[in-house]
Amino acid sequence: MAPQLTGVPGSGAAAGGAAAVKPQFHHYHHRLPPRHHHSSPASLLSKLAFWSVCSLSLLLAFLLLSPAAPAPRAAPESPRRSLHASPSSTTSWGGAAWEKKVRASARIRRSGGHSVLVTGAAGFVGCHAAAALRRRGDGVLGLDNFNDYYDTALKRGRAALLARSGVYVVHGDIADAELLAKLFDVVPFTHVLHLAAQAGVRHALVDPMSYVRANVAGLVALLEAARAANPQPAVVWASSSSVYGLNSHVPFSEHDRTDRPASLYAATKKAGEEIAHVYNHIYGLSLTALRFFTVYGPWGRPDMAYFFFTKDILAGRPITIYESAGGGSHQTTISRDFTYVDDIVKGCVAALDTAGRSTGSGGKKRGTAPFRTYNLGNTSPVPVTQLVDLLEKLLKVKAVRKVVKMPRNGDVPYTHANVSLAQRELGYRPSTDLQTGLKKFVRWYLEYYHPELAEKHKLRTSSNGKGSRGRNGSSSSAR
């Protein structure tokens, strides 16, 4: 970025130019006649000529010493570095080799296929979705800033997995307008699957601004790039079941209230839904929000209960289970509509396939474009105590349970999706129950973190002879 700054008027070089002519002003100032002095017409004429010459030479000197006007920005020939708010998001991009990689990754390999920019591709859902799209022949380019909200080795592992199937994950930030413009310039994406976000409810108590940066400012930057792109892509993005907040009407339907969020995370997702409406309304962007309900599965997120319960149970550490005031005077443990990642991915893919076109071009709307919102859940909430029972069975270890009253940290006591709209319009039918899905998660977890235990549990995949080899030689698909 530095070379561009040097060309901007008012920068160091220009200031240096002004400094160079300044002493001359002082010099002539000392030679000015006193104000009360009366002069003859001839002397006035000669003074006028003298000052004209001086002014012209000063102007000439200024022009010669000033830096040239900034040239229009050319495409970077060598990699660029951008630094964004997140400490771990120093990125490097650009150059002919980089563009070639981007194009190859986004190249469509089936007739009628899409070219999809998947943001958050090194994330949990993103890596599964990118792999699924790639498997069926869509062109897929990933974008992720690999931030350190949780173990970056896991993100790098997912990106390595995608690389093996031909998907390149660009290391960059969704708030980097210049990078986004470049990506849309290099590839005429038909779709964006926007999954990059600051996820997790509780972390907002520690770093609230990270939610605003990624989920509000980042979303706006992405939508700005999408509306300016030609052609405009259709955008499908992850909202969250958390937008239902204090809603008590169950199961949660898309028509229920979403104006009482219980966490900052939920508030930023709700803000995202409103912002998306603006871009649909003004610019004709086709927009689909998917409200995911507690997604779990292999390559999952370490900040989620099913993941850290597994870790703590294996380590013999106590796990904390929240209970909330239920109906009447009795206590109930919190329940979640746990949804297996493959079902979520099917919903994402169906949303991409059914997304109507954006109608804008050159930043102007040419007609109404689709604006849709769907719940993607499993439709069968399970109490967290039952989740722990299942984990104990699969891990063959008894959990040390500590049941405490739910603190006011943003969690809600209960989630339950009504998915009839997604079923009707997307053909969405979740098909993995919690026991089956958790078994797949535990198998992956043991193979990735404890290959020796996986052997003992006889959970190692053997059907295709391609079982995972642990952290560094992870399994061959994102399943």
Residue positions annotated with a catalytic role: 265
Q: Within positions 56 to 75, which residues make up the interface with ligand NAD, using CB under 6 A?
A: none
Could you give the C-alpha distances from 373 to 347, 368, 406, in angstroms and in order?
12, 16, 30
Q: Which amino acid is at 4?
A: Q
Report how far residue 218's alpha carbon sits from residue 140's, in angstroms, rounded to the nearest whole number. Answer: 20
Closer to ligand NAD by Cβ: residue 120 or 467: 120
| Candidate list 91, 105, 115, 240; residue touching ligand NAD; CB under 6 A | 240
- Give kind and range of the element (H or E) at residue 239: strand 234-240
Could you give the C-alpha distances from 370 to 286, 361, 418, in angstroms and in order?
5, 15, 21
Q: What is the DSSP letter of 361?
A: B
- Backbone dihedral angles phi then psi of residue 142, each to the nearest 5 degrees: -95, 155
Give the three-class secondary structure for 74. Answer: coil
Q: How many residues bind ligand NAD (CB under 6 A)?
A: 29
Residue 292 within binding range of ligand NAD, rule CB under 6 A: yes
Contacts of 98 (CB under 8 A, 6+ apart): 79
Q: What is the DSSP letter of 167?
A: -
| Candidate list 99, 114, 162, 173; residue touching ligand NAD; CB under 6 A | 173
Q: What is the DSSP letter of 244?
A: G
Closer to ligand NAD by Cβ: residue 214 or 267: 214
Closer to ligand NAD by Cβ: residue 125 or 204: 125
| Candidate list 80, 114, 155, 203; residue touching ligand NAD; CB under 6 A | 155
Closer to ligand NAD by Cβ: residue 360 or 374: 374
| Candidate list 102, 271, 295, 412; residue touching ligand NAD; CB under 6 A | 295
Residue 419 within binding range of ligand NAD, rule CB under 6 A: no
| Candidate list 80, 93, 120, 131; residue touching ligand NAD; CB under 6 A | 120
Q: For the chain, how big is the Rg over CA atoms in Å?
A: 30
| Candidate list 91, 114, 142, 146; residue touching ligand NAD; CB under 6 A | 146
Residue 126 within binding range of ligand NAD, rule CB under 6 A: yes
Interface stretch with ligand NAD, choices 36-44, 196-204, 252-260, 443-451 (CB under 6 A): 196-204
Closer to ligand NAD by Cβ: residue 213 or 365: 213
Residue 301 within binding range of ligand NAD, rule CB under 6 A: yes
**Contact, 160 vs 474, CB < 8 A?**
yes
Report how far residue 258's alpha carbon sits from residue 267's, in angstroms, rounded to the nearest whole number. Answer: 9
Q: Please give the residue whose beta carbon sits closest to ligand NAD in the complex.
A: 123
Residue 270 within binding range of ligand NAD, rule CB under 6 A: no
Residue 147 within binding range of ligand NAD, rule CB under 6 A: yes
Interface stretch with ligand NAD, choices 66-74, 117-125, 367-375, 396-404 (CB under 6 A): 117-125
| Candidate list 106, 125, 133, 167; residue touching ligand NAD; CB under 6 A | 125
| Candidate list 214, 229, 276, 426; residue touching ligand NAD; CB under 6 A | 214
Report how far residue 361's alpha carbon sits from residue 192's, in angstroms, rounded to the nearest whole number. Answer: 16
Residue 197 within binding range of ligand NAD, rule CB under 6 A: yes
Residue 174 within binding range of ligand NAD, rule CB under 6 A: yes
Report how far residue 9's alpha carbon sits from residue 66's, in angstroms, rounded to the nearest whole number. Answer: 8
CB of 301 to ligand NAD, least distance (A): 5
Closer to ligand NAD by Cβ: residue 191 or 301: 301
How do strand 331-333 and strand 318-325 relate by DSSP bridges? antiparallel
CB of 331 to ligand NAD, least distance (A): 25
Closer to ligand NAD by Cβ: residue 293 or 359: 293
Residue 218 within binding range of ligand NAD, rule CB under 6 A: yes
CB of 83 to ligand NAD, least distance (A): 13
- Left (φ > 0), alpha (ψ -120 to 50) or beta: where does 318 sit? beta
CB of 294 to ligand NAD, least distance (A): 5
CA 58 to chain centre: 53
Structure tokens of 172? Answer: 């960059």
Contacts of 348 (CB under 8 A, 6+ apart): 125, 129, 193, 236, 290, 376
With the C-alpha atoms ordered 252, 254, 260, 264, is the resulting torsion angle positive or negative? Answer: positive
Residue-wise burial string across 295-315, b where 16 or more C-beta atoms lie within 10 A, e elsewhere: bbbbbbbeebbbbebbebbbe
Give the three-class secondary structure for 296. Answer: strand
Residues lying near ligand NAD in the complex (CB under 6 A) are found at 119-120, 122-126, 143-147, 155, 173-175, 195-199, 214, 218, 238, 240, 292, 294-295, 301
